[in-house]
Structure 1
Amino acid sequence: MESEGVSLPLIHKHPMTPWNDLREGDCCGRFEDISDGYYCKICDLFVHKKCGDSSEFIKHPSHSVHTLKLQSKPYDRCDLCGKIFMNLCYCCEICDFYVDLYCAKYPPPKVIDISETHHHKLTILKEEIEFECDAKCEKIGYGFPYKCHECDLNFHLDCVWNPSEAKHPSEVNHPYHPLHPLKLYTGQPPDYSDRKCRLCSGGIDDRLFYHCSACNFSLDLHCIQYPPRQSVLDLKVHAHQLIFRPRLDSFTCNACGLSGDRSPYICLHCDFMIHQECLALPRLININRHDHRVSRTSVLGVVNSVCGVCRQKVNWTWGGYSCQKCPRYVVHSKCATRDDVWNGKELEGIPEETEDIEPYVVIDDNTIQHFSHKEHYLRFHVNGLFWEENKRCSACSHPICLQSFYGCIDCDFMLHQSCAKYPRKKWHVLHNDQLTLVTSVANYFGCDACERISNGFRYEGGDTELDVRCGSVSEPFVHPSHPHHPLYYIPSMEEKKCNGCNNWASHVLTCIDSDCGFVLCFKCATLPQLVKHRVDDHALLLCYGEKASGKYWCDICEKETNPSTWFYTCKDHRASLHTKCVLGDFVGLMPRSKIKFTFGSYEVVLNNSISRPVCRMCKSHCIYPIMLKMLGTSDPYICSIDCFNL
């Protein structure tokens, strides 16, 4: 079960979980010897315990005239050490004086004596200067150095003064290395070492660690203080007792199927081997791209299967996660527990919630009652009834056009048949918790997937907001532009170039065929296939680019088009119209609705007059089908998002 959340209102807005991690603290920007801390899985924020337990007010020797208050001041500079702090600091608002959390805990002395490495005393400067550090780092930068006035040398505070070093003995005996004592090292490890802790494989560069040069054996401070247990008996992990083996050995972990190079837990009875970190793999979880829970299993047993996250082949003889309701759905252990796939909640012992996610109740063969419009019934209409621009779906805000739809019997409320089917709750690849379909919009929102603005229905969860078109994207995603292979969302830190618009995007759908490499951004993936525009009496079709020679021109903006990118074309295929020219920036806004920006209130209006209005910012005739009309002005129209930035 997940540890109970800890509330630290002075430090962070979300509940945090007690956590052991030897990583840089987002609180003070430093590495600490003790790994105890707090972690927010929502924000990937790690706070050292002593920083998390900080008082709201302190008296500090460097600024004794006033009390300092704990505040959030991102990207300001500490007035003692000169470091940029990423989040929190102690501040004197009277004197505009800032101290980061590390210097608040360990006030640097005015004068220090490092006679082992330098024969004069060093004095801290109170003024920020640009200097080259004369210690081990030799880096040039701005800061508040310790200075030797006799030798005209400058040193970073961290390079000559570390209050934590005094806490640790110069030599220790350790149960996992009984042959020789381990000696305390600082800074860079020896060249012959692999620069990793023997037990946990954590890096030891630029940190305190213990080392035996005779055996080339290194341990970080965490493994010195909290060594792994010598044996583990956990029937949820394995049926037999597991023994810790503290040595360099290549192996394949039975729990995750990945290789390891050191210190596994092993079973002497059945040759079972497991990474230390895999002992804590959860038993039952939800992942963001599957509707059912997935459970940990020691042998996947599904031959010729692929992982539901990375889409790579799964070795059926190793462990992983599988769905009890979908026999062939399996996921690698490491993929299932990624931060961008799993919400961090262990569900074993928690009953599965059963809630009604159906969006409507069927009244008869042609009539429904939708949860967003309970006051009236909606009647089904086959396609082809409406071409008017003002007949729009309340969910996606796009025109009804030739699609089948449900229309209210008593008012002008309408929903595309496809939009009416969107479930009230769903899992989505872009958010780790279940999203809720929200039908009331007070103003407008920006979709986190396609970046369009909208005031239609949205899927919402935490800080994530998706319009219903992007929110309805699920795997496998089949698009008419790429009919031979389905597309998947493969989490990646790298941006990829979209085949539809030739722009780079971070959220993309990808073809997993190794010889293909087809990529679609969410904006292109959700473009309507068929639209109506005043430039042509017939429907415009989305064309997926073509190889062509010569120049092509858009009939709307009268500028050159690139036929290799997607465009809209007419029935005889003689036109190539920019997708933005056809749709505009405000296609997600309902005409006649009112929205507020920080710089004014606007009405959403259709650009369907004989004489096109002039935009107040770019001074051009508005070419897009929807504009914004600023209320209370004589020069009211805005034609695009770009014009807001002029």
Structure 2
Amino acid sequence: MDNEGVSLPLFHYHLMMPWNDLRRGDCCRSLESISDGYYCKTCDFFVHKNCGDESSKYIEHPSHPNHTLELGSYTYNKFCTLCGIYIVSQIFYHCDICDFSMDLNCAKYPPPEVIDISETHHHKLTLLEERIDFDCDAKCGKITYGFPYKCHECDVAFHVDCVWPLLEVHHHPLEVNHSYHPWHPLKLYTGQPPDYSDGTCRLCARKIDDRLFYHCSSCNFTLDMRCVLHPPQQSLMDLKAHDHQLTLLPRLRSFTCNACGLSGDRSPYICVQCDFMIHQECLDLPRVININRHDHRVSRTSVLGVVNSACGVCRQKVDWTCGGFSCQQCPGYVVHSKCATRRDVWNGKELEGVPEEIEDIEPYVVIDENTIQHFSHQEHYLRLHVNGVLFDDNKRCSACSHPICLHSFYGCMDCDFILHQNCAGFLRMKWHVLYNERLTLVTNEAKIFECHACGKLSNGFRYQHENRVFDVRCGSFSEPFVHPSHPDHPLYYISGDEIKTCNGCNMWHSRVLNCVEDGCTFSLCFQCAILPQVVKHRVEDHPLSLCYGEDEEANGIYWCDICEEEVDPETWFYTCKDHQASLHTKCVIGDFSGLMPRSTIEGMLTFEVVLNNSVSRPFCRNCKLHCIYPITLKILGTSEYFCCFDCLKV
């Protein structure tokens, strides 16, 4: 497999790898006999080679002779005008003048206007040109609105994709003799697999979803069209997977894959000499890769050999006797094979044979024990100031834009440039659990951006790759993450579809940091995880500390001294040292805490970032209330303000 990326701008915005895959293409949704194509590991997106190489930006098509059709790669609720099928792949030809859309499959192989499928219906069927409500006579149970084939004599209708396999029957033999099932011929079937079948292919274990397959009812043996057209090799020598020749065992048999440690139920490749078994899909596991959970490359190994270890991605126990990925520089760091190669963890790049780039990612040079030269401010030296200052709105970190406030910081010896000591140590390049390409610390742009992790606006330093941007507080996240609110157990990001409640804000989030200890359900969203532990606000003379909520049985009602509304004692809030004040975290921090005061923001309007520290608070242009948050946005050259992100969006 070639390692060089291929650009297919008509189809996809990422570089794609030359690939060989027996699957339906995301380009035209058809199953190609020739399986060469291009694949994006990041998006799990596959394009047939002939679609990628031969498709044109503009075409003339006989189904729409009046106008030229243009290839598009975006669609919302679009249906193919010819076949009526929803354009799942988001690639289609379109006429803006007529609102005519056609998927790639119909552009290549348009459904005939009239068909004859006497095996199913004794009259000819005509493809309607307008969408209608109908009940599909194939009893498929799918939605009943679209462009059907209709019999005008019997008043019955069929989905196009319900009768299309019946047309394809004529292009395939009704019976085949297959080398992996020599006892009986396999018969061609259409529609759903028999009820007694498990609905999956005996060789590749894929679900039968092509509505066209071969089956032996005597042996309950099913093959999908992929494995009929391109059966897996009976034996192979793949030193990338194993040192000896491997032989396919085409039968139902429970086994544990030596490459990934997971169980299988059919057709492994085996090495009798070593008692080695491997899933077919594990044959192509890469050898050396980067994953977004670790700073070093990880390499595939046949036996992990680290007893009582946990996977660096899912945090579950690994079987040390099986294969996986391990770090050569960090003893004990191991990852399941399936976890390491997930598309939200790995960028799809095989690095075996690729020299590792040795880059200086340290952010500063040490001049002496109290002096550094930071790469973002090379013209002057920075001097360390321990314990910060009590509070000064004008002393703000250039990286995170937050006030210094009791934190140690580096200050420029010749100008007003300041960095928190912690912010000064952020690496120039790093990986992040929410993105599978390495991020670069950008310090020379003051453009506003929205952090991908916490959703907050910022114009300070950022970690960035292409259009994915993190502020430095979220971007510097690494595992294990220890938070003072949960000191006994570290937190990890476990990706998945489950939505959890954050213990900080008591709101539902899809991306949270989790405690993985048995029985512990503690979770934190990124926005709560980066809340400062100590802040200063003008309503209190003393610094405010972050309080991690009160006991559910606590008595009394809490009121915020800023907005004068009730505070939920089970959520986090800020309080002073005598605990006589309770303040909402948003009221103390605001939505624009990541913006540097006195900076300007260019957009449809030009805004000035303004500290809300005057005696009289300005009115918000949208909500018509006094702005209570510490930083507001003012339309440049006017007296109109916005107090928060919600008001700005309206």
Work out whether the TM-score is over 0.5.
yes
Give the CA deviation at 1:643: 0.7
Q: Say whether 1:223 aligns with 2:227.
A: yes
CA distance in 1, matches of 2:281, 2:444: 44
| Residue of structure 2 equivalent to 1:154 | 157
CA distance in 2, matches of 1:189, 1:374: 69
Q: 1:357 to 1:640 in 2, by over 3 A?
A: same
CA contact (8 A) 2:401 2:594 kept: yes
Q: 1:59 to 1:532 in 2, by over 3 A?
A: same
CA contact (8 A) 2:386 2:407 kept: yes
Aligned residues: 644
Out of 615, 619, 622, the position equivalent to 1:617 is 622
Give the CA deviation at 1:217: 0.8
Give the CA deviation at 1:557: 0.2
The 5 Å alignment of 1:39-438 reads 39-52=39-52, 53-75=54-76, 76-86=78-88, 87-162=90-165, 164-205=168-209, 207-438=211-442
Out of 563, 586, 609, the position equivalent to 1:557 is 563
CA distance in 2, matches of 1:3, 1:209: 34
| Residue of structure 2 equivalent to 1:595 | 601
Give the CA deviation at 1:168: 2.1
CA contact (8 A) 1:33 1:221 kept: no
CA distance in 1, matches of 2:602, 2:277: 60
Query: Aligned partner of 1:79: which letter?
Result: T
CA contact (8 A) 2:453 2:526 kept: yes
Q: Normalising by the residue count of structure 2, what TM-score does the alignment of the two structures yield?
A: 0.96
Query: Aligned partner of 1:400: which letter?
Result: I
CA distance in 2, matches of 1:467, 1:584: 16
Q: Say whether 1:443 aligns with 2:447.
A: yes
Moved more, 26-35 or 474-483: 26-35
User: Can you list the C-alpha shifts for 1:109-129, whole angstroms capped at 9, x where unaligned?
Assistant: 222212221122222222222
CA contact (8 A) 1:34 1:222 kept: no
Moved more, 66-75 or 487-496: 66-75
SS at match of 2:186: strand
| Sequence identity percentage | 72
Query: Aligned partner of 1:616: which letter?
Result: R
Out of 470, 495, 504, the position equivalent to 1:500 is 504
SS at match of 2:423: helix
Query: Aligned partner of 1:268: which letter?
Result: V
Query: Aligned partner of 2:350: which letter?
Result: E
Give the CA deviation at 1:483: 0.4
CA distance in 2, matches of 1:207, 1:309: 37
CA distance in 2, matches of 1:631, 1:251: 68
CA distance in 1, matches of 2:340, 2:72: 37
User: Can you list the C-alpha shifts for 1:554-576, whole angstroms capped at 9, x where unaligned?
Assistant: 00000001010000001101211
CA distance in 1, matches of 2:146, 2:631: 53
| Residue of structure 2 equivalent to 1:8 | 8
Give the CA deviation at 1:140: 4.3
SS at match of 2:606: strand
SS at match of 1:160: helix
CA distance in 1, matches of 2:6, 2:174: 36
CA contact (8 A) 2:397 2:404 kept: yes
CA distance in 1, matches of 2:444, 2:124: 68
Query: Aligned partner of 2:105: which letter?
Result: Y
CA distance in 1, matches of 2:292, 2:141: 46
Give the CA deviation at 1:36: 4.0
Moved more, 622-631 or 493-502: 493-502
CA contact (8 A) 1:308 1:329 kept: yes
Q: 1:611 to 1:545 in 2, by over 3 A?
A: same
Give the CA deviation at 1:29: 5.0
Which runs of 5 or more residues in structure 1 are unaligned? Answer: none
Query: Aligned partner of 1:101: which letter?
Result: L
| Residue of structure 2 equivalent to 1:606 | 611
Give the CA deviation at 1:532: 0.5
SS at match of 2:133: strand
CA distance in 2, matches of 1:130, 1:304: 59
Q: 1:2 to 1:427 in 2, by over 3 A?
A: farther
Query: Aligned partner of 1:568: which letter?
Result: Y
CA distance in 2, matches of 1:640, 1:168: 64
CA distance in 2, matches of 1:575, 1:164: 74
User: Can you list the C-alpha shifts for 1:268-324, whole angstroms capped at 9, x where unaligned?
Assistant: 112111111111111111111111111111111111111111111122111111111
CA distance in 2, matches of 1:371, 1:280: 41
SS at match of 1:523: helix
Q: 1:205 to 1:83 in 2, by over 3 A?
A: closer
Give the CA deviation at 1:644: 2.0
Give the CA deviation at 1:8: 2.0
SS at match of 1:597: coil
The 5 Å alignment of 1:528-607 reads 528-547=532-551, 548-598=554-604, 600-607=605-612
Query: Aligned partner of 1:313: which letter?
Result: K
CA distance in 2, matches of 1:407, 1:494: 44
CA contact (8 A) 2:388 2:409 kept: no
Give the CA deviation at 1:22: 4.9
Give the CA deviation at 1:632: 2.9
SS at match of 2:377: coil
SS at match of 1:278: helix
Q: 1:578 to 1:269 in 2, by over 3 A?
A: same
CA distance in 2, matches of 1:492, 1:97: 37
Query: Aligned partner of 2:37: which letter?
Result: G
CA distance in 2, matches of 1:227, 1:24: 16
Q: 1:363 to 1:469 in 2, by over 3 A?
A: same
CA distance in 2, matches of 1:427, 1:555: 40
Q: Normalising by the residue count of structure 1, what TM-score does the alignment of the two structures yield?
A: 0.96
Give RMSD over aligned pairs: 1.8
Give the CA deviation at 1:64: 2.4
CA distance in 1, matches of 2:10, 2:419: 46
Give the CA deviation at 1:138: 4.6
SS at match of 1:483: coil
SS at match of 2:68: strand
CA contact (8 A) 2:38 2:48 kept: yes
Q: 1:470 to 1:73 in 2, by over 3 A?
A: closer
User: Can you list the C-alpha shifts for 1:426-457, whole angstroms capped at 9, x where unaligned?
Assistant: 12211112111011224211111111010011
CA distance in 2, matches of 1:222, 1:202: 10
CA distance in 2, matches of 1:362, 1:180: 77
Q: 1:139 to 1:308 in 2, by over 3 A?
A: closer
Q: 1:517 to 1:398 in 2, by over 3 A?
A: same
SS at match of 1:65: coil
Give the CA deviation at 1:380: 1.1
User: Can you list the C-alpha shifts for 1:329-386, whole angstroms capped at 9, x where unaligned?
Assistant: 1111111111111111111111111111111111222221111111221111111435
CA contact (8 A) 1:130 1:140 kept: no
Q: Say whether 1:633 aligns with 2:633.
A: no
Give the CA deviation at 1:218: 0.7
Give the CA deviation at 1:469: 0.6
Q: 1:150 to 1:92 in 2, by over 3 A?
A: same
CA contact (8 A) 1:2 1:346 kept: no
